[in-house]
Amino acid sequence: MLGTGTVGQTVGGKLAGLGHDVCMGSRTPDNEGAAAWVERTGEHASQGTFADAAAFGNEIVVNATPGAVSLDVLHAAGADNLAGKILLDISNPLDFSRGMPPTLTVCNTDSLGEQIQRAFPDARVVKSLNTMNARVMVDPGSVRGPHTVFVAGDDHVARWQVKQLLLQFGWRGDAIFEFDGIAKARGLEMYLPLWLALRGAIGDRPFNIKVAS
Ligand SMILES: NC(=O)c1ccc[n+]([C@@H]2O[C@H](COP(=O)([O-])OP(=O)(O)OC[C@H]3O[C@@H](n4cnc5c(N)ncnc54)[C@H](OP(=O)(O)O)[C@@H]3O)[C@@H](O)[C@H]2O)c1
């Protein structure tokens, strides 16, 4: 798990609760937030640097860092530590430098998911879960009624494995909308301005969208 923020702690906690061993990575090996998470989470949890965590994750590495610095974080994690692995990218390329609402650091003809896939061609990048808040990611039942989670990536086996993880998180199979191609990350990331507007209107209550056809 690359990232010690809300997503890292929430998704990492869910994974550990399911019995997966999780190493939470940070810029420093002794990050206080990660230490508290390890203490709370128990036997399946450990901490280290971004490189330690990426090396530890022999099945899947999760990017839960701010999109504006994700490429730097992944370079710190090390291309060798990502090669051949599923890289679940939950990040959003938000630029808060000009205040609220944030803008996107990349959009229209490119996406952060694609930038990551190009920078780390041996990783199997899958974009998912970035379109909802952290609680909904691991507790889809917190939103009433059916709703949708997207999965996009070039590698169909990697997409399948991420879908298995989503099922473990409690997502129904028919809630998972799969896209063939990491380029679909463009739309998933450009949804963020709408998500932020919905968040402004709805407030703290968990919410999500559903694709109906
Ligand atoms: N929060 C949500 O509910 C939510 C929902 C959907 C998607 N997302 C996306 O998920 C990602 C993570 O969000 P978050 O709220 O969990 O955490 P966050 O606060 O955005 O990120 C925390 C992590 O980023 C690292 N970091 C911060 N600045 C850095 C820098 N300059 N260089 C390297 N690393 C840096 C921190 O490192 P240290 O550990 O060293 O401090 C920490 O591990 C974001 O892209 C966000 O847009 C969040």
Give Cα separations from 102 to 8, 22, 108, 116 (angstroms): 21, 31, 16, 21
Determine if ligand 1 sits within 6 Å of the CB of residue 73: yes
* Residues in a beta bridge with 213: none
89 with 43: CB under 8 angstroms? Answer: no
Determine if ligand 1 sits within 6 Å of the CB of residue 133: yes
Q: From CA 119, how far away is CA 139, in angstroms rounded?
A: 32
Task: Give mean pLDDT, residues 59-66.
Answer: 98
Residue 69 has a pLDDT of: 98
Residue 55 has a pLDDT of: 98
11-52 per-position pLDDT tens digit:
999 999 999 999 999 999 999 999 999 999 999 999 999 999
The model carries a pTM of 0.98
Distance 68 CA to ligand 1 centre (A): 9
